[in-house]
Each structure stands twice: as C-alpha cells, then as structure tokens.
Amino acid sequence: MMPKITVFNQDGNEQSLSARAGDPLMETLRDEGLVEGTCGGAASCGTCHIYLRDNWSEKCGERTEDEGYMLEGLEEHVEVKDVSRLACQIIVNDEMDGISLDIAPQI
C-alpha cells in the first residue's frame, strides 16, 4: 500500500502524493520539490518544517528531542505551531493514508 498524502503548498495549492511506507515523509516531499531536506534527515536544518492538519499528530508519533530543539530554533524566523513537525522525523506507515499537511514557511 502507498499511503496518500494531501499537501498544501505556500500558495495554498493542493497536491496529492503517494508515499512509500517505511520512508521518512521528508523524502516524498523533497522528491516533489516541496521541501529542501538539506540535512538529509538529521533534524538539524528545519527545511522540511510542516504543519499537520486534522488531528494527524497522534498518528505521526511524538516529536523527538532533537526535533523539538530544531523547532525552537525556528521560532525566531517562522511561526511554530502545536502541529509543527519536521517531515524527516515522521516515518510513513499505512495508518497515515489520507494525511493532510501544509508546507510551513521556509527561512
């Protein structure tokens, strides 16, 4: 199964993507040119910052400690919300079919 993801970009345009279970969400978004993923998934750059929609936070797991620190560092530059995540720290699974998210402003 390839979970379907609905992504809203900076302009509010909606795009439907398929993601491979077991891969970091960032890879799907990066491959579509929606995020940079500069650090390659180490939670150290913030270029894959997203906002989860519709209570998807529970199905995406808890923030890692490193992710929390990186998001704190982003607060000086962009809005960080309760639903903010780094896509590199979310591993796609079948339960995420139908997930929707917004690409956060980039610094």
Reading the chain (107 residues) residue by residue, the pLDDT tens digits are: 799 999 999 899 999 999 999 999 999 999 999 999 999 999 999 999 999 998 899 899 999 999 999 999 999 999 999 999 999 999 999 999 999 999 999 87
CATH number, span 4-103: 3.10.20.30
Q: What is the pLDDT of residue 43?
A: 95
Residue 101 contacts residue 5 (beta carbons within 8 Å): yes
Residues 56, 99: Cα–Cα separation, whole Å: 6
Number of H helices, E strands in the chain: 2, 5
